[in-house]
Amino acid sequence: MTERGAFNWPIAIFSFFAMVFAANGILVYFAVNNPHQLAEEQPYQKGLEHQAVIDQEQAVQDLGLSSTITFVPTQGGRLAVVKISRNQTEPVAVENAVLEMKSPVDGSSDERAVMSSSADSDELTAMMRLPRKGLWLAALSFKYEGKQLLIRRRVFLDN
C-alpha cells in the first residue's frame, strides 16, 4: 500500500545500521592487526627501570653532590669538562663516568663518551662531536662509594 516514490523507512534504517556495522568492523580490524605503542609489553619492568633512575638521582642529592659541565670548542669537536664536588666545595673522585648528550630536536646527533681523568686534576674530560648549537640534554652516570649514580641536566651550547 505504498505510493510510488514514497520513502521506505525500514530499508533506510537497516541500511544505516549496516553501514555503521561495516565501518566499525573495518576500524576493529585495523586496531587489532596493526601494532601500536599504546599498550606496554612489560609495564612492571619498565616501571622498575624508571624507579632505579629516580633512586640514582635521589642518591646524588642525599650525598650532597653537584656537578658543572662545560664545553670548550676545539678543532675536532668539543671538549667536555666535568667537575663533581661534594657540598659545592670539595672535589670528589668518581669511577666509570659516562656522559651522554641527547638532542631533543632529533636523535641523529646523540653522543656518548667515557670520561677520563688525569692524576693532577679533579676534572673529567672527553672529546665529543656535538654538531649544532642550542639545547642538549646531558646525563652523567658514574660510580661513587660503590653506588651507581646519575646526574641529569640541560646544557645550552652557544658556540
pLDDT of 2 = 54
pLDDT of 4 = 66
Least reliable range by pLDDT among 31-40, 125-134, 135-144: 31-40
Enter the C-alpha cell of residue 86. 661534594
Integer Cα distance of 84 and 76 in angstroms: 25
Indicate the residue type of 56.
Q
pLDDT of 55 = 93
pLDDT of 122 = 80
pLDDT above 70 (res 1): no
Domain ranges of the chain: 7-36, 55-157
Between these two residues, 115 and 7, which has the higher pLDDT value? 115
Closest CA to 86 of 148, 147, 140, 144: 144
Mean pLDDT of 126-146: 89
Q: What would the pLDDT profile of 85-97 be if each residue is shown by its tens digit? A: 888 788 888 889 9
Q: Which CATH class is domain 55-157?
A: mainly beta
Alpha-carbon torsion (104, 106, 107, 111), positive or negative: negative
Mean pLDDT of 57-62: 91
